[in-house]
Structure 1
Amino acid sequence: MAEPPENFDSLSQSSPVQLSAKQLHTKRFHSHSHSDQKRKPPLREQVSKTPKNAVKLKPSTIPVHFTWALVLTISCFFLIGPIWVLYKTIQLRRMIERQELDAAARLSHKITTVLTILTVLGAFAWVAILFCTVGLILTGVLLQKKLI
């Protein structure tokens, strides 16, 4: 059967093109996707809060304070405290070598507290000795000149 020639005046129309539902869906969203992406503002970066039970990282270095203890042993009159601290710094180094970091951190904090107290007491003792010495010298000079 021969098909009639097509002309613009004829009312004959060929059957419409069949599209599957999948093709229709991709065609519909593909045409709008380029224009929608241009108009949408960029998404904000999401920032999450740290959980309440989060573990805080501990510092990787634990101060040993050996030099401070040695200087205090040499310059302080209270020898029991600085010698004890020197012994504890040796224990602290062994703990760090054995990776006992929690116990080492506690011992380091204890050593810091003892050294601070001993430094204050040592400074007070040196100042007291200085004032007493200066007072005795001045008293001796004043007594020699018979001003007192």
Structure 2
Amino acid sequence: MTDQVQVEDFDSIERNTPAELSAKELHNKRFQPRANYQNTSKTPKRLQTSKPPKNSVKIKPIKTPVHFKWALFLTIFCFFLVGPCWALYKTIQLRRMIQRQENDAADRLSHKITTVLVVSTILGIFAWVAILFCTVGLLLTGELLATEAI
């Protein structure tokens, strides 16, 4: 028995590989659902969000307080009119600065207005309390003198 070996051309050789050569077919085969796998709905994964670094600074929109109502209230009810009138005038300038986008100067002026209004408020409260005690004292003294208790 003689063995005859067939010599084939290089082009005619067939090769059966275990995997397809196309990347698209590999992808489709890899992600096909398996027959024994049941298609149950899974809860969707939540989006991953990254946390800001610990040393990061939160930028807030710049909003400069004007304090117009506070200055107007103190101008009407306070005995020390110089501070509240000045603050009332400066609130008008402050609004113009905000319209012209002069943010740094507007912040500084707003801080000055706040300081003047706080001092004027404290002095106004002190004056109103003093007037209240003087009035009550005079009324009591008048009543005591009328009854000749003093």
TM over 0.5: yes
Deviates more, 1:126-135 or 1:97-106: 97-106
Q: Report runs of 4+ in structure 1 exceeding 6 Å deviation.
A: 17-21, 38-41
Distance 1:126 1:54 in 2: 44
Distance 1:146 1:41 in 2: 91
Distance 1:41 1:90, change over 3 A: closer
Distance 1:106 1:48 in 2: 36
Secondary structure of the corresponding residue to residue 117 of structure 1: helix
Distance 2:77 2:25 in 1: 88
Q: Shift in Å at residue 35 of structure 1?
A: 3.3
Distance 1:80 1:131 in 2: 24
Match of 2:33 in 1: 35
- Which of 69, 72, 86 aligns to 2:71? It is 69
Distance 2:20 2:29 in 1: 16
Q: Shift in Å at residue 72 of structure 1?
A: 0.7
The share of aligned pairs that are identical, in percent, is 56
Match of 2:59 in 1: 56
- The answer on whether the counterparts of 2:20 and 2:26 sit within 8 Å (CA) in structure 1 is no
Mark the runs of 5 or more structure 2 residues left unpaired by the alignment: 1-12
Distance 2:67 2:50 in 1: 39
Match of 2:93 in 1: 91
TM-score of the superposed pair, with normalisation by structure 1: 0.69
- Which of 134, 143, 146 aligns to 2:145? It is 143
Distance 1:140 1:26 in 2: 106
Distance 2:32 2:117 in 1: 70
Secondary structure of the corresponding residue to residue 143 of structure 1: helix
User: Which amino acid in the other structure matches residue 142 of structure 1?
Assistant: L
How many residues matched?
A: 131
Secondary structure of the corresponding residue to residue 56 of structure 1: coil
CA RMSD of aligned residues (A): 3.1
Q: Shift in Å at residue 133 of structure 1?
A: 0.8
Distance 1:146 1:78 in 2: 38
Secondary structure of the corresponding residue to residue 32 of structure 2: helix
Mark the runs of 5 or more structure 1 residues left unpaired by the alignment: 1-14
